[in-house]
Structure 1
């Protein structure tokens, strides 16, 4: 999964400028202090307690790499002389390196699995490791259909498209969701990720949760729909759809925008919802925390299968895997400072990178957990 943003997202930026999400300020804080205690914070929440270990290390999810780059810039602006080196080797490698004590925290597309919890606790000197969801990215169901730019889908119809039960664009099930639209009899060309992808896994989880049993193929990083043609990576699927009328795919927001692909509104039962920062923020707010205390492991099935009014349900979450306690004092201080910066000032530039900023209520949950790291 790659959420890289290669050009500005005007719709996202305009909505944020209009105040659709609580994200204040822009750029570095003029009151930031170079090192020591009390690095300034222009975006609300506690100030970063700069200092400690000068060169943090982290490894894992490639999905969040571009967001981490944004966070590093904010961290360096706020805490002079501090740095983080992030190696985007994939979620599995990130968890392994964290559990082996080779990096200060891990990045993962999913929370720690049951089989990984004991090793993480041992790495943290007998203390629990926490899953902190820091980066969220919306996924579009992108399509190209001449004369149709305002398509509405729901989980059931999307599932039947992506497993081949619905074969043409004027199918009655699609028409029922798009009253008045002139839907052609064009065959539907499904385009899927041919490589293993966290985007595919989350998309199939969405179909499983939202389709009322229409999707029986399960989840996983390989597309299981059994129809269509594959393309390599997010760039490949978006380019394939942009060049072929009648095509449909699932792809990260930035790629849909950059390739001028129309994006379907999703109706979870409370009316069609367009993909915007505000609607993604509502989905994040509606996500249930399945972890206990400050372990913020999420149950995204509550989002995928929910019907919260105004919430866009198809999104990805990536985690930072950290020790609740067990770091030496300099490392704990620096980890907390980096994550505090990332959750506050670092959120401001995320739309330009193709990610969704944290809504205020969720940000406060995250900051509470960060401040409790020992």
Structure 2
């Protein structure tokens, strides 16, 4: 999939600002500073990975290419696991991933990076994961973590199960089999979904979170779009996907503390703000260890932090120059607003944005 110059009005509105931003990374303006100097960036650059980032990447790329007309960017939303593999092998210039590099990946080498250097994780996109459903006659659905885990583990198999009825007073559910749709590909969205359930109800969701769905239950579908299509076109279906893709499907409220909470970008961002970074990594690596055990109903713990995985130093300096400018833009205030408008994501906090900007400034 090649995402090129398609995008919305919000992206176009940023052209002037982006021209200044991208050039600032590469040259000092001279002469009449009332006009943006021409961008010096050129070439074709490739990214791959997170399908959750798809809508945001489309908007980011549209705006960046307008400000940098000699640049062509291809982003292939193959899924987080495939994206990391492609980047590690040198097939892309950066990866989008809803899960950070793991210890085994960090112990290896990265083909695009300069010798004896490592890749790092930079938070790029914060978004709720929606539990989407399609059940005729049911417009609202409450789920607590126990019931949600048992549905996707295959222990609750019918919509009229007493456990569902007990937390949805006043709703009549049909005598209808549940089809629980999970990601069939290696997916950071799956890892975040599993991490949430493993943290909150580990006695039920007893498998270590990973990009692969851990149980032999339900129905698999590839990528975010595949899950959404399967839920939309099925009968009695339920699935999980980045909230930007939910569309007109029903979305469940999750029990947090004593209340059932609908997803919002702000409630998702609140969880990230109160979570620590993963320990034992290089100082430039900003991977989060999300704490999903909150009982504060102003928080929505089923959240993902999607990363841009980049080299600290590239073997090809031209690629380093591009990545520095592009990742600098998408994690800037302007870029984060474009993602919020296009995908409903939560902008990085000012504190986190400053930390990311400091790291981006060191990319070579």
TM-score of the pair, normalised by structure 1: 0.74
The answer (yes or no) to whether the contact 1:350–1:356 under 8 Å persists in 2 is: yes
State yes or no: 1:311 paired with 2:299: yes
Map 1:32-43 → 2, pairs under 5 A: 33=19, 36-37=23-24
State yes or no: 1:72 paired with 2:58: no
Alignment partner, residue 207 of structure 1: 197
Alignment partner, residue 285 of structure 2: 295
Map 1:254-333 → 2, pairs under 5 A: 254-257=244-247, 260-269=248-257, 271-290=259-278, 291-300=281-290, 302-303=291-292, 305-325=293-313, 330-333=318-321
Candidates 173, 176, 189, aligned match of 1:184: 173
Alignment partner, residue 96 of structure 2: 107
Alignment partner, residue 13 of structure 2: 27
Task: Write out per-residue CA displacement over residues 290-323 of structure 1, whole angstroms, 9 at most, x where no aligned residue.
Answer: 14522111223x23x4444422222333322222
Q: In structure 1, how many angstroms separate the alpha carbons of the residues matched to 2:339 and 2:94?
A: 21
The offset of 1:110, in angstroms, is: 2.6
The answer (yes or no) to whether the contact 1:285–1:359 under 8 Å persists in 2 is: no
Q: Alignment partner of 1:288: what SS? A: coil
Alignment partner, residue 134 of structure 1: 124
Q: In structure 1, how many angstroms separate the alpha carbons of the residues matched to 2:312 and 2:230?
A: 45
Task: Write out per-residue CA displacement over residues 111-166 of structure 1, whole angstroms, 9 at most, x where no aligned residue.
Answer: 22222224447833323421112133432212234554332212112111222333
Task: Write out per-residue CA displacement over residues 169-226 of structure 1, whole angstroms, 9 at most, x where no aligned residue.
Answer: 4544434433x43343634513313732413343233222222412235544554444
The answer (yes or no) to whether the contact 2:191–2:209 under 8 Å persists in 1 is: yes
State yes or no: 1:125 paired with 2:150: no
Shift of the 306–373 alpha-carbon distance from structure 1 to 2, 3 Å rule, reads farther
The answer (yes or no) to whether the contact 2:39–2:67 under 8 Å persists in 1 is: no
Unaligned 5+ segments in structure 1 are 1-5, 9-23, 40-47
The answer (yes or no) to whether the contact 1:127–1:323 under 8 Å persists in 2 is: yes
Alignment partner, residue 195 of structure 1: 184
Unaligned 5+ segments in structure 2 are 1-5, 27-35
State yes or no: 1:149 paired with 2:139: yes
Shift of the 51–329 alpha-carbon distance from structure 1 to 2, 3 Å rule, reads farther
The answer (yes or no) to whether the contact 1:147–1:182 under 8 Å persists in 2 is: no
State yes or no: 1:250 paired with 2:240: yes
Q: In structure 1, how many angstroms separate the alpha carbons of the residues matched to 2:92 and 2:48?
A: 10
RMSD after superposition: 3.8
Pairs aligned (count)? 341
Alignment partner, residue 372 of structure 1: 362
Alignment partner, residue 347 of structure 2: 358
Q: In structure 2, how many angstroms separate the alpha carbons of the residues matched to 1:270 and 1:230?
A: 32
Q: Alignment partner of 1:296: what SS? A: coil
TM-score of the pair, normalised by structure 2: 0.76
